[in-house]
């Protein structure tokens, strides 16, 4: 049984004080959530404070990116061990904004994923096609190519710690969501690929999140799809009421 994972990616929003306010509101509204996992990914500057706030609470802490080296002269970079140190248990790798703005390619995503796993961080590996790629009928080929490249040399046993997030680029921050049928079709294609790369049992244990303008209005229909195991939420995770409603999907 896959336990759904609802994650908030706060991107470059929230000062430390604003982050604390949001997490306090989430903790107050959350209640018990034994059948689903809740994760927040604040900016680096807020990780330490939020890590202290959510320790022992039903909210996990994740980072939005990580560098693959353990330490060294890498100005501006953050190592996996530093994320563990402040209480992170998850880290996003390969978000389309990292790929498009910061030039992360599949090989770097794969290195980051291995670095995360080596440091007991669960990587959430993002994959997704652009609008021109979808319009050209290439969506599945692009996404499956990213899955192959990102998972190079990852073992079946390591896959138990890996989460994949399917995030069509054209749906991120646009208000334009993939239909639940299109999202389900891509999730099923990803799971088939995992069966080919590993085996059916491994594939059926991997959580595949959907991301791209997830909001209170569409979460229930998305989560009703058999291969959608959670959501990676940007804009709608920045306010307590909308994120809580998403977490409380039915
Ligand atoms: C994201 O940041 O991963 C995302 C999906 O953003 P949004 O929910 O705002 O589309």
38-60: pLDDT as tens digits: 999 999 999 999 999 999 999 99
Q: Which CATH number fits domain 5-247: 3.20.20.70, 1.20.120.1200, 3.50.50.60, 3.30.1370.10?
A: 3.20.20.70
The radius of gyration of the chain's CA atoms, rounded to the nearest angstrom, is 17
Q: Could you report the per-residue pLDDT of 114-153, keeping only the tens digit for each?
A: 999 999 999 999 999 999 999 999 999 999 999 999 999 9
Q: Please give the torsion angle defined by the CA atoms of residues 27, 209, 77 and 79, in that order, rounded to the nearest 10 degrees.
A: 80
Of all protein residues, whose CA lies closest to atom 1 belonging to ligand 1?
A: 234
CB 30 within 8 A of CB 38: yes
**Which is the closest atom of ligand 1 to the Cα of 167?**
5
How far apart CA 130 and CA 196 sit, in angstroms, is 25
pLDDT 10s digits, 96-118 = 999 999 999 999 999 999 999 99
Q: Tell me, what's the pLDDT at 173? A: 87
Q: Which of 125, 170, 232, 242 to mutate to test the pocket of ligand 1 (most atoms within 8 A of CB)?
A: 232
167: Cβ below 6 Å to ligand 1? yes
> How many other C-beta atoms can be found within 10 angstroms of the C-beta atom of residue 241?
11
State which H helix or E strand residue 142 sits in: helix 139-150
- What band does 76 get if pLDDT is binned at 50, 70 and 90? very high
| Ligand 1 neighbour 124 (Cβ under 6 A) | no
Instruction: Specify the residue for token string 């563990």.
Output: 84
Question: Is pTM, for the whole model, over 0.85?
Answer: yes
- Provide the pLDDT for residue 178: 87
**In this model, does residue 176 exceed pLDDT 90?**
no
pLDDT value, residue 34: 78
Q: What is the dihedral of CA 5, 85, 113, 186, to 10 degrees?
A: 10
């Amino acid at each position: 049984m896959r336990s759904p994972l609802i994650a908030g990616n706060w991107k470059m929003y929230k000062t430390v004080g604003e982050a604390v306010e949001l997490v306090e509101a989430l903790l107050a509204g959350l209640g018990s959530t034994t059948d689903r996992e809740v994760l927040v990914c604040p900016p680096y500057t807020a990780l330490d404070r939020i890590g202290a706030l959510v320790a022992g609470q039903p909210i996990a802490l994740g980072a939005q990116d990580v560098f693959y080296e353990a330490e060294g002269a890498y100005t501006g970079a953050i190592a996996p061990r530093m994320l563990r140190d402040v209480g992170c248990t998850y880290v996003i790798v390969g978000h389309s904004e990292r790929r498009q703005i910061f030039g992360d390619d599949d090989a770097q995503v794969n290195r980051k994923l291995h670095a995360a796993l080596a440091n007991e961080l669960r990587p959430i590996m993002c994959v997704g096609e652009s609008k021109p790629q979808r319009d050209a009928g290439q969506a599945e080929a692009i996404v499956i190519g990213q899955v192959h490249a990102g998972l190079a040399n990852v073992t079946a046993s390591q896959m138990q710690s890996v989460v994949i997030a399917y995030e069509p680029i054209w749906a991120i921050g646009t208000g334009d969501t993939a239909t639940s049928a299109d999202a389900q079709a891509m999730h099923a294609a990803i799971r088939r690929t995992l069966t080919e790369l590993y085996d059916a049992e491994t594939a059926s244990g991997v959580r595949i999140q959907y991301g791209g303008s997830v909001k209170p209005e569409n979460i229930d229909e998305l989560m009703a799809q058999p291969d959608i195991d959670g959501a990676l939420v940007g804009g709608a995770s920045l306010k307590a009421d909308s994120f809580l409603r998403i977490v409380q999907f039915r």
